[in-house]
Chains A and B, each alone.
Chain A
């Protein structure tokens, strides 16, 4: 392999920047993952406790409003609830800005990319108003601290996160023969039972993969094993033995007994799934697709899977395997940047000063970033389903998506920055050695600086990585 610093920053980082030198080699990229998380310190985001605090305040406001129905206090309580809702939307806008600023200012872009990758692999989102904006705090707590750990640690952190339990309905799942099921039947005459959603997605999406070696029986057994994992907005995650299905469960031939060992049995099952050879194949392929192209070199996939198996899913070793393989350094740019990464890399290439973003109001953040991203096909914190965002280039470069990208690069940077960089300088900053004669012609033939800079950011060479 021949290490190319610019390509490293484009393909594995957040894009070129006139303010930050690209990495000098794979060792630097990997060592940085072990170093303190500077970007997170500079642009802090609360962990999931912050989302729970919002959820508690929201629920309290809603209860108070409900209690005031028919009384003269109703309008006051109604206003309180609306104010809390607005506060939560403000939080979302601030957290989004911090995520963006991390990508714009980091000297360790690989960490941001891995965080986005694993956050997408473990997609979770709020389905009720109280948890609507929980996805970013979830990533902060469950994903970001574990991206350089073993995959099993990441898996356990994600699967036991309150937001994941909520998103995939685990907090409702009750062992059909559990103490709770009996109690609800006696007192309320209702039948409560199993929900297989989380168990299915853990097998299908998070570990073995959709074609993996498991059957419906394994899904069912894993769902029974998972019973007892719940959360509430007061305490967050809880293991409630009264919800757990009695007896042992057998998943992929292994026996687990959560009734006796509680959460430990569930964690053991997750560790075993994480170390399964099929999980190695599934994750190797996903990483290769994400970082190289939609149809990756089979040799690269095999190399990653081998390293994963040999190290029991030590992610640092897997990343090292990725960065050492020649297929990771093919000079043709394959993948299209998804909208968030695209906008972040555009701001980074323009060296947009952080103050240009931190001073924006929530409506402005919506106007300049969140709504355009939605029109480009990526609604922030709300992907289509638990399988996360598409990796297929064609899903992003649709007529409507491309039109919005063009509209954004022609109109937003000029509104955010007092002065735009000179076109040829911007071209050099954004594309480095990839600034071709044709692009230099485009940059100088445009009628205005605004259009010249917009066109540079619209170049396929800039939209791909």
Chain B
């Protein structure tokens, strides 16, 4: 992983605002004079300085296989083909938990106390076990289903002054409901291509000139596509023949997120799929964790040390999985799960949360890891530590009705 020096001023200029574009657009006439469609201008400074990347792990990550409670006496009896622990190649974390081997590349971060976990947490979603509803609830951040039609990360923006469209970015092709809502956000996928010849680009600009909605969207699309290209050119010069076009999608998304966070953006949200491991979990989870690990390392490398230092990466999933292995080397939909935390702003090097134990009586519904914490409360404390979000705003607006409890100390302040 090549570290990019933290020189935000040298990064491609986050060009243009809609206003300047609309003002400039008068230059394009039927003559098709070769006038630049866009003129770079810089953005106003963002209202806070820390960076937050939220990753939704879609499919229900198995907390017990990722952060393996090998010190729990009941653990070995519950897992056969999926038995972990240091004897099976996992990295010991603290004498009780061990880390899945596919996350081994993150061990330097753990030792630097920049990687941590919260065990046995969940949303208020119980018993129904539908990904669809589980993710809806995770992203709505409400106690029950269908109570809000916007997402909690958007509500954070709604209560934070000085927010602009570039402050928060939803990245990738899947929809990110947690960022949908009344506050302006940006939305782009590094896979999106504008794919226009220079002539077609000018003609499209001309055609859309009279329609402000289309004109502004085109301007922003061209700008985003340009800066993605510029990033590609600048960021990957050291790996000949392996430009970001060739990199797998999760790395391109992580690079793109890092590029935005190096500039004016403060929040990036995207998702990593592939956690629904009903069969042969060993292979499937290894592949998914490799994607997660590469994502985190790409963020770290592309953000550079100065910005990484004030960054929190928070990965969360809609629910956990059954503690018992099923008959096909996999696990089924469960309840308690884990959050993965990384970044210089994180107080890492420890597994947070209250471990409920794995005896049958300690399980939820006699089959799932008992949730002892609410992911919303954990996230609330992270926002508070990172952005200084008001306590009341968190429990009234962002996560209505959440019991915040006492500060779990997930971030350095």
Q: Give the Cβ gap from A430 to chain B, nearest Cβ, in Å.
A: 13
Q: Give the Cβ gap from A279 to chain B, nearest Cβ, in Å.
A: 20
A386 to B186 Cα, complex, angstroms: 25
Q: A411-B195, A447-B199 are in contact. Are A402 and B221 (CB under 8 A)?
A: yes
A463 to B221 Cα, complex, angstroms: 17
The answer, yes or no, to whether B20 is at the interface (CB within 8 Å) is no
Question: In the complex the two chains form, is B192's CB within 8 Å of A438's CB?
Answer: no
Question: In the complex the two chains form, is B189's CB within 8 Å of A385's CB?
Answer: no
Contact with B along A421-455 (1 / 0, CB 8 A): 00000000000000000110110011100010011
Contact with B along A355-393 (1 / 0, CB 8 A): 000000000000000000011010100001111000001
A398 to B220 Cα, complex, angstroms: 9
Q: Give the Cβ gap from B122 to chain A, nearest Cβ, in Å.
A: 19
Question: In the complex the two chains form, is A410's CB within 8 Å of B195's CB?
Answer: yes
CB closest chain-B residue, reference A167: B132
CB closest chain-A residue, reference B365: A190
The answer, yes or no, to whether A460 is at the interface (CB within 8 Å) is yes
Question: In the complex the two chains form, is B194's CB within 8 Å of A201's CB?
Answer: no
The answer, yes or no, to whether A406 is at the interface (CB within 8 Å) is yes
Question: In the complex the two chains form, is A397's CB within 8 Å of B136's CB?
Answer: no
- 8 Å CB contact of B192 from A375, A379, A447: A375
Q: Give the Cβ gap from A89 to chain B, nearest Cβ, in Å.
A: 17
Which residues of chain B in 175-218 are interfacial with respect to chain A, using CB atoms and an 8 Å cutoff? Answer: 175, 177, 180, 186-189, 191-197, 199-200, 203-204, 206-208, 210-211, 213-214, 217-218
Range for the number of chain A residues in contact with chain B: 35 or more
Chain A contact residues: helix, strand, loop or mixed: helix
- 8 Å CB contact of B30 from A78, A200, A407, A441: A441
Q: Which of B189, B200, B206 has the most CB of A within 10 A?
A: B200
Q: Give the Cβ gap from A185 to chain B, nearest Cβ, in Å.
A: 16
- 8 Å CB contact of B187 from A66, A400, A459: A400
A386 to B147 Cα, complex, angstroms: 12
Q: Give the Cβ gap from A73 to chain B, nearest Cβ, in Å.
A: 13
Question: In the complex the two chains form, is B206's CB within 8 Å of A399's CB?
Answer: no
The answer, yes or no, to whether B130 is at the interface (CB within 8 Å) is yes
Residues of A contacting B200 in the complex (Cβ-Cβ under 8 angstroms): 410, 446-447, 451, 454-455
Question: In the complex the two chains form, is B149's CB within 8 Å of A407's CB?
Answer: no
Residues of B contacting A400 in the complex (Cβ-Cβ under 8 angstroms): 187-189, 192, 221, 224
The answer, yes or no, to whether A177 is at the interface (CB within 8 Å) is no
Residues of B contacting A211 in the complex (Cβ-Cβ under 8 angstroms): none
The answer, yes or no, to whether A70 is at the interface (CB within 8 Å) is yes
A223 to B191 Cα, complex, angstroms: 45
Residues of A contacting B279 in the complex (Cβ-Cβ under 8 angstroms): 78
Contact with A along B304-331 (1 / 0, CB 8 A): 0000000000000000000000011000
The answer, yes or no, to whether B146 is at the interface (CB within 8 Å) is yes
Question: In the complex the two chains form, is A439's CB within 8 Å of B207's CB?
Answer: yes
The answer, yes or no, to whether B230 is at the interface (CB within 8 Å) is no
Residues of A contacting B133 in the complex (Cβ-Cβ under 8 angstroms): 127
Question: In the complex the two chains form, is A197's CB within 8 Å of B221's CB?
Answer: no
The answer, yes or no, to whether B104 is at the interface (CB within 8 Å) is no
Residues of A contacting B4 in the complex (Cβ-Cβ under 8 angstroms): none
The answer, yes or no, to whether A86 is at the interface (CB within 8 Å) is no
CB closest chain-B residue, reference A382: B132
Q: Give the Cβ gap from A437 to chain B, nearest Cβ, in Å.
A: 9
The answer, yes or no, to whether B145 is at the interface (CB within 8 Å) is yes
The answer, yes or no, to whether B268 is at the interface (CB within 8 Å) is no
Question: In the complex the two chains form, is B217's CB within 8 Å of A374's CB?
Answer: no
The answer, yes or no, to whether A404 is at the interface (CB within 8 Å) is yes
Residues of B contacting A454 in the complex (Cβ-Cβ under 8 angstroms): 200
Q: A127-B132, A403-B192, A406-B194 are in contact. Are A442 and B149 (CB under 8 A)?
A: no
Range for the number of chain B residues in contact with chain A: 35 or more
CB closest chain-B residue, reference A336: B213
Contact with A along B327-357 (1 / 0, CB 8 A): 1100000000000000000000000000000
Q: Which of A201, A401, A406, A463 has the most CB of B within 10 A?
A: A406
The answer, yes or no, to whether B225 is at the interface (CB within 8 Å) is yes
Question: In the complex the two chains form, is B175's CB within 8 Å of A384's CB?
Answer: yes
Question: In the complex the two chains form, is B208's CB within 8 Å of A460's CB?
Answer: yes
CB closest chain-A residue, reference B186: A399
The answer, yes or no, to whether B39 is at the interface (CB within 8 Å) is no
Q: A374-B173, A401-B217 are in contact. Are A451 and B207 (CB under 8 A)?
A: no
Q: Give the Cβ gap from B199 to chain A, nearest Cβ, in Å.
A: 5
A447 to B199 Cα, complex, angstroms: 7
Q: Give the Cβ gap from A85 to chain B, nearest Cβ, in Å.
A: 13
Question: In the complex the two chains form, is A447's CB within 8 Å of B189's CB?
Answer: no
Q: Give the Cβ gap from A226 to chain B, nearest Cβ, in Å.
A: 16
Question: In the complex the two chains form, is A375's CB within 8 Å of B189's CB?
Answer: yes
Question: In the complex the two chains form, is B177's CB within 8 Å of A446's CB?
Answer: no
The answer, yes or no, to whether B233 is at the interface (CB within 8 Å) is no
CB closest chain-A residue, reference B198: A447
A351 to B136 Cα, complex, angstroms: 40
A69 to B32 Cα, complex, angstroms: 68
Question: In the complex the two chains form, is A455's CB within 8 Å of B195's CB?
Answer: no
Question: In the complex the two chains form, is B146's CB within 8 Å of A386's CB?
Answer: yes
CB closest chain-B residue, reference A393: B213
Residues of A contacting B194 in the complex (Cβ-Cβ under 8 angstroms): 403, 406-407
Question: In the complex the two chains form, is B214's CB within 8 Å of A69's CB?
Answer: no
Q: Give the Cβ gap from A192 to chain B, nearest Cβ, in Å.
A: 11
Q: Give the Cβ gap from B189 to chain A, nearest Cβ, in Å.
A: 6
Question: In the complex the two chains form, is B146's CB within 8 Å of A445's CB?
Answer: no
Residues of B contacting A128 in the complex (Cβ-Cβ under 8 angstroms): 130
CB closest chain-A residue, reference B189: A400
A336 to B214 Cα, complex, angstroms: 10
A103 to B328 Cα, complex, angstroms: 45
- 8 Å CB contact of A445 from B145, B180, B203: B203
Question: In the complex the two chains form, is A69's CB within 8 Å of B221's CB?
Answer: no
Which residues of chain A in 8-46 are interfacial with respect to chain B, using CB atoms and an 8 Å cutoff? Answer: none
Question: In the complex the two chains form, is A455's CB within 8 Å of B188's CB?
Answer: no
Which residues of chain B in 119-170 are interfacial with respect to chain A, using CB atoms and an 8 Å cutoff? Answer: 128, 130, 132-133, 136, 145-146, 149
A309 to B273 Cα, complex, angstroms: 49
Residues of B contacting A72 in the complex (Cβ-Cβ under 8 angstroms): none
A442 to B201 Cα, complex, angstroms: 11
Residues of A contacting B208 in the complex (Cβ-Cβ under 8 angstroms): 460
- 8 Å CB contact of B197 from A66, A403, A407, A447: A447
CB closest chain-A residue, reference B279: A78
Q: A445-B32, A451-B199 are in contact. Are A387 and B214 (CB under 8 A)?
A: no
Residues of B contacting A393 in the complex (Cβ-Cβ under 8 angstroms): 213
The answer, yes or no, to whether A458 is at the interface (CB within 8 Å) is yes
Question: In the complex the two chains form, is A438's CB within 8 Å of B195's CB?
Answer: no
Q: A387-B149, A403-B225, A406-B196 are in contact. Are A455 and B204 (CB under 8 A)?
A: yes
A58 to B189 Cα, complex, angstroms: 35
- 8 Å CB contact of B211 from A169, A447, A460: A460
Q: Give the Cβ gap from A16 to chain B, nearest Cβ, in Å.
A: 18
Q: A374-B173, A458-B204 are in contact. Are A399 and B199 (CB under 8 A)?
A: no
A78 to B328 Cα, complex, angstroms: 11
CB closest chain-B residue, reference A455: B203
A19 to B224 Cα, complex, angstroms: 39
Residues of A contacting B191 in the complex (Cβ-Cβ under 8 angstroms): 375
Residues of A contacting B196 in the complex (Cβ-Cβ under 8 angstroms): 406, 410
Not counting A401-B217, A403-B193, a sample of 7 additional A-B residue pairs whose C-beta atoms are within 8 angstroms of each other reads A201-B146, A399-B218, A406-B195, A442-B206, A442-B207, A445-B199, A455-B203
Of all A-B residue pairs in the complex, the 10 with the closest CB atoms, nearest first, are: A69-B327, A399-B221, A460-B211, A399-B220, A403-B221, A402-B217, A460-B214, A127-B132, A451-B200, A397-B217
Instruction: Give 16 A-B contacts (CB < 8 Å), ordered by A residue.
Output: A69-B328, A127-B130, A169-B128, A384-B180, A393-B213, A399-B218, A402-B214, A402-B217, A404-B192, A406-B194, A406-B195, A410-B196, A441-B30, A455-B200, A455-B207, A458-B207
The residues of B with any CB-CB pair to A shorter than 8 Å are 30, 32, 128, 130, 132-133, 136, 145-146, 149, 173, 175, 177, 180, 186-189, 191-197, 199-200, 203-204, 206-208, 210-211, 213-214, 217-218, 220-221, 224-225, 279, 327-328
